Amino acid sequence: MKNGLFETGRLEAFSDGVFAIIITIMVIEFHLPDGTHFSDLLPLVPKFLAYLLSFLYIAIYWNNHHHLLKAANGVNGGIMWANMGLLFCATLIPFGTAWVGENYQAVAPTAFYGIILMLNAVAYYILQNRILATMSKKSPFAKSIGADYKGKLSPILYFIGIVLAFISPLVAELVLVGVAIMWIVPDRRVERALYG
């Protein structure tokens, strides 16, 4: 340990476990269809799409988390608790997914799903700041974060999505899909700053 920080290994392993379980546990919500025809699968389509979207979000968070902790010099108490905050928000995703998956045309489930995603973004932002606080502001990672337009844009887009849910849940859901797509498109600049 140097500078009051200890290594990231076990925090990463624990977080990996929680992300892996969240991503898999959502499937338990798929109750078997009543019949045995392909058409009996149709009512499950919205639930499936909600699961797909949440899977993408967890995958994005896992990936960003991976990069973030790789860049970190180490872990202190503040980083540990900020990480727990992110994991807590992430564990709310299956519940939000199940609710919106069953009621994708309803206002509250859609807005609530947007709120959960926003909470995750805020928790991630806090974790990122806790890690940046242990770094020099001139480090390549700190600079790449400074130019992090996605991180700054996402909460605004989530907010727009939440507000839109009260007008048209479907349009709101498209916005939330859009944010996921924005994140999946690779952020070459960060990777370059990190790995050269």
- Judge residue 94's burial from the number of C-beta atoms within 10 Å of its C-beta, 0-12 exposed, 13-18 middle, 19 or more buried: buried
Distances (CA, A) of 69 to 83, 134, 193: 10, 12, 14
Pick the closer one to its own copies by CB: 77 or 137.
77
**Which residue carries 């909460």 as its tokens?**
155
Provide the H-helix boundaries in the chain: 9-25, 45-71, 77-91, 93-102, 107-132, 140-146, 149-165, 169-184, 188-195
Piece in contact with its own copies (CB under 8 A), picked from 118-126, 133-141, 149-157, 188-196: 188-196
x-or-dash pattern for its own copies, window 111-150, by CB under 8 A? Answer: xx--------------------------------------
Pick the closer one to its own copies by CB: 36 or 138.
36
**Which residue carries 């979207």 as its tokens?**
53
Chain contacts with its own copies (rule: CB under 8 A): 1, 4, 6, 10, 12-14, 16-25, 27-28, 30, 32-33, 36-38, 40-41, 52, 55, 59, 62-63, 66, 70, 77, 80-81, 84, 87-88, 91-92, 94-95, 98-99, 102-103, 106-109, 111-112, 184, 186, 191, 195-196
